[in-house]
A and B are shown apart, each in its own frame.
Chain A
Amino acid sequence: METLKGKVWKFGDDVSTDLIIPGKYKFKTIDLGELSRHVMEGADPQFASRVSKGDIIVAGKNFGCGSSREQAPLVIKHAGVSAVVAKSFARIFYRNSFNVGLPLVECPDLYENVETGDVIEVRLLEGRVESMGKAFYFKPIPGFLMTILQDGGLVEHYKKRGSFVWEEPIKSQ
């Protein structure tokens, strides 16, 4: 969980939740196997059939903008993607991703320096991404979100502890 290594899939700016998982599918089922067959369909129809376990999505600014649908990070995770590294994320998508156990990294500098197919390594605790021997830095993930990630998402987190980490005093970032 703390170090993720994978092959890059690169996308542009403003990838909306409609592109990640079109609204028309989400009302019919909450079965993730079924929904994941359409992951990123609006941005790249080939993605679902080609993505493999551990791959990492790299994107521009405002990734995950649009609706509050949690199916968006869920299908990305279910498709095997281990992390998303973007210039910036939409707010609700950001919360949802940690809640479902998908790590997100805000690292604007990486974008221009990778292409689809490159292999990168993301070190969550150190706040560092490595690509072809070069290092790029990001603000490490806040502690309480890391706790949720390490527990495997918010559902497992509560199941395990019977309370939420934020109910204890939180150190401000």
Chain B
Amino acid sequence: MGMTLAEKIISMKIGRIPSPGEIVVLPVDAAMAQDGTAPLMIKSFEGMDAKKVWDGSKAIFVIDHISPSSNEGTSALHKMMRDFAKRHGVVLYDVGEGICHQLLPEKGHVFPGGVVVGADSHTCTHGAFAAFSTGIGSTDMAAVFASGKLWFRVPETLKINITGWMPGNVMSKDAALYAIGEVGADGATYMSVEFTGEAVSRMSIDSRMAMTNMAVEMGGKTGLIASDGVTREYLEGRIKVPFLEISADHGAHYADVLEVEAGKLEPMLSCPHQVDNVKPVSEIGDVPVDQVFIGSCTNGRLEDLEAAARVLKGKKVKARTIVMPASRETYLAALQSGIIEILVRSGCVVGVPGCGPCVGGHHGVPSPGDVVVSTTNRNFKGRMGCADSSIYLASPLTAAYCALNGKITVPE
């Protein structure tokens, strides 16, 4: 019997074929904590009386959630991270470097066949590089920092097969939102979500990452995509291990399969206050929009900023529009290609690379009654820092059209 992508990666680590439901212990290739989770990780690590970090080159801290800090309390937690990183030789990406899930692949910490854990739920993003990658909590992370290993339940796999190609106004985010609407917020709980099909093979790395990023919004443990030429092109020169092409076997057993015809997709919105409350943009009608956010580990990459700039070039936004590049590298590329200038001239506020408004800490907390269109991945009540605002999740293209017209708009 063949193996799914998740089973294959696990088998490469344990040297035998794993079966879903089984508990396995895997060595970890990259372990990341960010400023929302690292302080508790440090507290747990020290509480355990653990003496040293197993391998400082594989242990990574990122200061991205409230970055730069907006208050004294947060600053003290950031300092705690810097001190720990120095003491234990942990890799630290400090303020302004970017969002953890963009930095890990950019800086070469992620490679096909690797096992990546992050004290952040969207760690599933790295499955776009055929790495077994999942979110864990701070104390689990302390265990990894102490021992370099962790237990996992071998997941069943849900396959999402996207055939054909998407219409011009549809982005991979729309495909992800559509799938979440079909599967539900808990439809893939504990499962690996494997994206396959012609559309996925043709997609850029940026587009693929937007989809694997959203796997956790259906409850998934990881989102996975086979590694191919596109992956190789991105990773070459970044990773220090040989590149591997890894894909699922023919005849692999899937717990469930969702077939999606890319050609039939249209721009989608996830409506307040549940990610799986998904509707086509065309069904929403005239809803005035107060704020738009383009950024995050879902859609803050170059391709996303480019899509927004194409819409906003030479025009003015009608809603408060905040743009945050996912990383310093993204920011620089967008600067050099003129994207940033287009966005600034159109009235957007361009902020430092980081999570920003996504998690409600600072840089764009909405006010009560505000309607927000955001390219992020969660619209739970209070997510952006105000429980009385409404958040719609959209593709960067849809978000840019909403910014342009000051109301919910179907992109052309």
Contacts and interface: CB of A to CB of B under 8 A. Distances in A.
B174 interface: no
Q: Which one of B47, B73, B137, B219 has the highest number of Cβ atoms from chain A below 10 Å of its Cβ?
A: B137
Interface string B116-139: 001111010000000000011111
A148 to B, nearest CB: 10
B288 interface: no
A142 B21 CA distance: 12
B380 A19 contact: yes
B186 A61 contact: yes
23 contacts: A14-B186, A19-B381, A22-B382, A22-B385, A22-B387, A24-B385, A26-B36, A27-B73, A28-B74, A28-B77, A42-B382, A62-B185, A69-B137, A88-B186, A90-B186, A91-B219, A92-B135, A92-B137, A154-B48, A155-B44, A156-B47, A166-B149, A172-B21
A123 interface: no
A159 B274 CA distance: 40
A68 B119 contact: yes
Interface residues of A, number: 46
B49 interface: yes
Q: Which one of A100, A142, A156 has the highest number of Cβ atoms from chain B below 10 Å of its Cβ?
A: A100
A29 interface: yes
Given A24-B360, A92-B136, A158 B48 contact: yes
A154 B186 contact: no
Nearest to A73: B137
* Chain B interface extent, by class: 35 or more
Interface in A136-165: 142, 144, 153-156, 158-159, 163-164
A68 B121 contact: yes
A159 B359 contact: no
B279 interface: no
A166 B22 contact: no
Interface of A: 14, 16, 18-19, 22-24, 26-30, 42, 61-62, 65-71, 74, 88, 90-92, 95-96, 99-100, 142, 144, 153-156, 158-159, 163-164, 166-167, 170, 172-173
A155 B186 contact: no
Contacts, number: 150
A69 B151 contact: no
Nearest to B385: A24
Q: Which one of B40, B120, B135, B190 has the highest number of Cβ atoms from chain A below 10 Å of its Cβ?
A: B40
Contacts of B37: 68-70
Nearest to A87: B186
Interface of B: 21-23, 25, 35-37, 39-40, 43-44, 47-50, 65-66, 71, 73-74, 77, 118-121, 123, 135-140, 142-143, 146-147, 149-151, 185-186, 189-190, 219, 221, 274, 359-361, 378, 380-383, 385, 387
Nearest to A153: B139
A42 B381 contact: yes
Contacts of B49: 158-159
B40 A158 contact: no
A158 B380 contact: no
B274 A27 contact: no
Given A99-B137, A166-B151, A22 B25 contact: no
A22 B147 contact: no
Contact of B71 (A28, A91, A92, A163): A28
Contacts of A142: 23
Contacts of A71: 40
A24 B361 contact: yes
Given A22-B360, A30-B39, A70 B25 contact: no
A70 B143 CA distance: 14
